[in-house]
């Protein structure tokens, strides 16, 4: 098996141990066009969860600041959209992250074949 295939597959498998660092290093170090292409694809797939986490932080911030309280400072019994949004986000994020991990493993195995 060629070293370039192993390096390209390692970029995909790095989702388990070094998601952003290894594809960037491989992209800038290697001269092989195919390996660079796989490093770029794996980097994009590793960036999606990071971008979603930033969006989740914004959603959680809005949900915390949108809580309405009564005069005594205790939250009221209303359970609005912004209070339910973090739970929905966590479920969607978990499913998407699982799909990204499965996709990276599939692509890594596909490169090794």
What secondary structure letter does DSSP report for 6? H
- Domain boundaries, position 23: 3-112
| Number of domains within the chain | 1
23 is written with which tokens? 């594809």
| pLDDT tens digits for range 25-46 | 999 999 999 999 999 999 999 9
SS3 category, 93 = helix
Element (H, E) at 107: helix 81-112
pLDDT tens column, 42-94: 999 999 988 988 988 887 787 777 665 545 555 555 566 667 777 888 899 99
């Amino acid at each position: 098996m060629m070293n370039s295939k192993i390096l390209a597959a390692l970029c995909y498998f790095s989702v388990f141990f070094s998601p952003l660092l290894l594809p960037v290093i491989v992209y800038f170090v290697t001269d092989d066009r195919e390996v660079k292409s796989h490093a770029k694809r794996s980097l994009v797939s590793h960036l999606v969860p990071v971008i979603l986490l930033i969006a989740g932080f914004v959603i959680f911030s809005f949900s915390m600041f949108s809580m309405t309280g009564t005069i005594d400072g205790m939250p009221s019994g209303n359970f609005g959209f912004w209070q339910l949004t973090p739970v929905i986000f966590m479920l969607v994020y978990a499913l998407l992250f699982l799909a990204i991990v499965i996709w990276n493993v599939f692509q890594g195995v596909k490169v090794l074949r």
